[in-house]
Amino acid sequence: MGYQVEKSDAEWREQLSPAEYDVLRNAGTERPFVGEYTDTKTTGVYKCRACQAELFRSDTKFDSHCGWPSFFAPLAEDRVEYLVDKSMGTVRTEVRCGNCGSHLGHVFEGEGYGTPTDQRYCINSISLTLEPDAS
């Protein structure tokens, strides 16, 4: 698939820290409850750490107590793409940045959270950069 932002593996490795590269480019997962945005309440826009595309607003973030930042919807459906993920012995829906193809996390449905969409976008903090709203 062609993305608006495309870089070679060497360019991604130069731009990203080893931990960022593992998650964003190799679909790794950061450990639960250690990410910088897990409990953040700051108002603003969450962007892809790799390409700075705007992905989620803080007003869609909610406390799921799962160990990773959770959102009930992206800014728009074209901001993310979905892939079937059959790793880990189960079928899940992987969420990637629609602008550069970087791994963000997974989306789950029907878990009973009181959100407008009944979805939980479980996103790695290390995949995001928060741009706070101007005061």
Active-site residue among 48, 51, 97, 122? Answer: 122
CB 103 within 8 A of CB 27: yes
Sheet holding 61-62, edge to edge: 61-62, 70-71, 119-123, 103-109, 92-97, 80-85
- Reply yes or no on whether 122 is catalytic: yes
CA–CA separation, 114 and 120 (whole Å): 10
Q: Which residues are catalytic?
A: 122
